[in-house]
Amino acid sequence: MLQSRAVDFVNFSGRFIRLFFVITLGLVLLGSSNIASEDKVERVRVLTRGIEFDYLGWTVNALGLKFTHSSQGISHYIKNDQQIQFIYDYLNLITGIHQKERELQSIFADPSIIDPLTASKDIKSELSRLYDQRSLSAPVTEEVLQGQMRRVIADLGIGLGGHTFPPVLYHNTPLPYALIVSPRDIIRQDADISLIPGLSLEEQVALEEEVDRELDVSSLVVPIGGVGVYPTMVQETNNLVWLSEVVAHEWVHNFLTLRPLGINYFSSPELRVMNETTASIAGKEIGLALLERFYPELVPPAHPEESREAQEPAEPPAFDFRSEMHETRLKVDELLAEGQVEEAEAYMEARRESFWDHGYQIRKLNQAYFAFYGAYADEPGGPAGAAEDPVGEAVRKLREQSPSLAAFINRMSWLYKFEQLERVVSDSA
């Protein structure tokens, strides 16, 4: 009995020490997240202070939840095969919640239903039950997936001495929106301000119009899939392929934040592209490795287009979104370089309508759109422009030259200038 209590005390103490480290690290990472040059964002924040997201409050609350459930150590008592089934059960639960939420929205939108409050009574009751079940299951699900990802990252050799550093921690939560601000005469992200979740579309549009009018800039409120604070913030989903990639992507940001590449995230547009492209490449590879090890039946086909071609007759080439968007970006850059700002904006609106006609429902295509999405250059083309293309291409090339994902991440993490990346790629050629 005494020996059992001693073991329990040692296990609890170990978890307490780890959580103390996590809390300290979380506050450090919080202090470095989403911080751009204050002189560029202060005028924008005059218009957003009342609706900005409270990262400190969220982080303290999330760390408290992590501490509570880690101290209980529930996942340690679940066998590996049971852990996998637990994840599947949770994803099915989220699917059921999303279905009931759609049914509820449909009832209140249906003009033939005279009394939607009465008609929705049973669905609301069922949703309440499902929400309670989610509250109990979500923390264990997060702990299980965190443990699986730590093992995968360690096996890939990215950690320290077989351990991931920092430990993988994420929390499903409603995510803030991001207000992106760019000058009108050049595509450049001057501000990225996090706004509270739940802003209506009308509120988003009104804010964009006010910012544009008051500051003569281009702005856009965009949804995001995750935030690299600590624990990382991840949108709730029933898609494990997407979830594993995003959790890995945000953990890579945590990893980089402790090294020169992440520390200098906001130093230049090139550094931002280097960070995001590195996290995108690594996130996809780590997420895929997790699926291959624990959920092989969910691994996407390596070349889905080849399997389709084998089954379907040849068809005319489909609308190539990435190619068309890249062509749009290059033309916009050209017009802006010539000082034709209004012509560039009219061109972007015409192109947006074309994208819409082909099924891509882009609400607003402007300089801020390209400033935000152009940083994710893990694949050629897309919204990255001529100025950013060499950066994304260099990161992709270094990955090709690296013997392993660990070697690639470690090499990238110590770079803090684009010129260094160019030299590394050239020397490795």
Q: What percent of the chain is modeled with pLDDT above 90?
A: 67
**Is residue 428 very low, low, confident or very high in pLDDT (cuts 50, 70, 90)?**
confident
Burial code of 105-122, b = ≥16 C-beta within 10 A, e = fewer? eebeeeeeeeeeeeebee
Q: What integer is the mean pLDDT of 362-375?
A: 94
**Is residue 81 very low, low, confident or very high in pLDDT (cuts 50, 70, 90)?**
confident
| pLDDT value of residue 307 | 47
DSSP letter string over 228-241? -SSSEEE---S-HH
The model's pTM is 0.82
pLDDT at 63 > cutoff 50: yes
Task: Specify the range with the lowest mean pLDDT, choosing from 129-133, 246-250, 382-386, 424-428.
Answer: 382-386
- The tokens for 286 are 């780590």
Task: Specify the range with the lowest mean pLDDT, choosing from 126-130, 299-303, 414-418.
Answer: 299-303
Q: What is the pLDDT of residues 171-220, one digit of tens each?
A: 999 999 999 999 999 999 999 999 999 899 899 999 999 999 999 999 99
- The tokens for 343 are 């012509």
Residue 271 or 2, more confident? 271
| pLDDT value of residue 387 | 54
Q: What integer is the mean pLDDT of 99-118?
A: 89
Q: What is the pLDDT of residues 310-361, one digit of tens each?
A: 455 555 557 899 899 999 999 999 999 999 999 999 999 999 999 999 989 8
pLDDT at 298 > cutoff 90: yes
Q: What integer is the mean pLDDT of 76-81?
A: 74
pLDDT at 94 > cutoff 70: yes
| pLDDT value of residue 70 | 67
| pLDDT value of residue 38 | 60
Q: What is the pLDDT of residues 208-256, one digit of tens each?
A: 999 999 999 999 999 998 998 999 999 999 999 999 999 999 999 999 9
Q: What percent of the chain is modeled with pLDDT above 70?
A: 84
* Identity of the highest mean pLDDT range in 4-8, 336-340, 372-376: 336-340
Contact in structure between 374 and 365 (CB atoms under 8 Å): no
| pLDDT value of residue 34 | 43
- The label of the residue with tokens 């939420």 reads 101
- The tokens for 2 are 């005494």
**Is residue 72 very low, low, confident or very high in pLDDT (cuts 50, 70, 90)?**
low
| pLDDT value of residue 33 | 42
Question: Which residues share a beta bridge with 180?
Answer: 192, 220
- The tokens for 266 are 């906001």
Task: Specify the range with the lowest mean pLDDT, choosing from 34-38, 225-229, 294-298.
Answer: 34-38
Q: What integer is the mean pLDDT of 286-305?
A: 88
Q: What is the DSSP letter of 101?
A: H
Angle between helices 121-155 and 240-257 (to 10 degrees): 50
> If we measure between CA atoms, which residue out of 142, 235, 169 comes closest to residue 24?
169
CA dihedral of residues 150, 156, 159, 161 (deg, nearest 10): 110
Q: What integer is the mean pLDDT of 361-373?
A: 94
pLDDT at 138 > cutoff 80: yes
Residue 38 or 412, more confident? 412
Classified as helix, coil or strand, 267 is coil
Amino acid present at 139: P
Burial code of 162-178, b = ≥16 C-beta within 10 A, e = fewer? eebebbbbbbbbebbbb
| pLDDT value of residue 74 | 60
pLDDT at 7 > cutoff 80: no
